[in-house]
């Protein structure tokens, strides 16, 4: 593909990335789960009627439920009471996030170069508190998985896995736009 791009540039034509296969990872793709492809998590879990292609290696590490705010913890107890988080101010929640960020990011950086560090504050159970750490290489991500999987943080045992997400723009929920 690089040779093709270089030859097109030498001939004076503009080069564009090839189009992705049609319908892969979209609602029209009946074989693969678009939720899993976009976020590494599916609201239907093992009951999903579509395929979840779990990567055997990746640059992105997913730690499910690692970050929990006061309101998220309350919603965990009662998924139907979405007002539970209203007891805390935005400043309190933001300060809790900053404390978390300053506590865990240096640990992830000890393994390798962190390209992206994303924290899901979504209240949906399959996304709630998920932490995504994208490393520069798959090797660094493999080392992080070995180091952090099964480790304890804030009274909970970490569940780490490789994640298919590399394009963060598509991972954003349309509800929060």
Measure the CA angle with vertex 65, ends 166 and 121; round to 5°: 70
Burial class (CB in 10 A: 0-12, 13-18, 19+), 63: buried
What percentage of the chain reaches a pLDDT higher than 90? 31
Q: What is the dihedral of CA 45, 48, 50, 55, to 10 degrees?
A: 10
The pTM of the full predicted model, rounded to 2 decimals, is: 0.71
Query: Which range among 46-60, 61-75, 138-152 has the greatest average pLDDT?
Result: 138-152
Going by the DSSP 8-state scheme, the letter that residue 82 receives in this structure is: G
Q: Give the rounded distance of the alpha carbon of 77 from its chain centre.
A: 23
% of the chain exceeding 70 in pLDDT: 67
Q: Which residues of 94-104 are buried (b: 16+ CB within 10 A; e: fewer)?
A: eebeeebeeeb
């Amino acid at each position: 593909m690089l040779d093709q791009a270089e030859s097109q540039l030498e001939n004076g034509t503009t080069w564009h990335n090839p189009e992705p296969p049609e319908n892969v990872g979209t609602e029209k793709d009946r074989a693969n789960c678009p939720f899993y492809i976009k976020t590494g998590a599916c609201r239907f879990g093992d009951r999903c009627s579509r395929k979840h292609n779990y990567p055997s290696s990746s640059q992105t590490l997913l730690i499910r439920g690692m970050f929990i705010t006061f309101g998220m913890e309350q919603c965990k107890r009662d998924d139907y009471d979405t007002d539970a988080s209203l007891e805390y101010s935005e400043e309190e929640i933001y300060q809790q996030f900053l404390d978390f960020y300053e506590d865990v990011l240096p640990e992830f950086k000890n393994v390798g170069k962190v390209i992206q560090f994303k924290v899901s504050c979504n209240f949906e159970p399959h996304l709630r508190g998920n932490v995504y750490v994208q490393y520069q290489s798959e090797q660094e991500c493999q080392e992080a998985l070995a180091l952090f999987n099964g480790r304890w943080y804030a009274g909970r045992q970490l569940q780490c896995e490789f994640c298919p997400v590399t394009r963060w723009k598509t991972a954003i929920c349309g509800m929060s736009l």
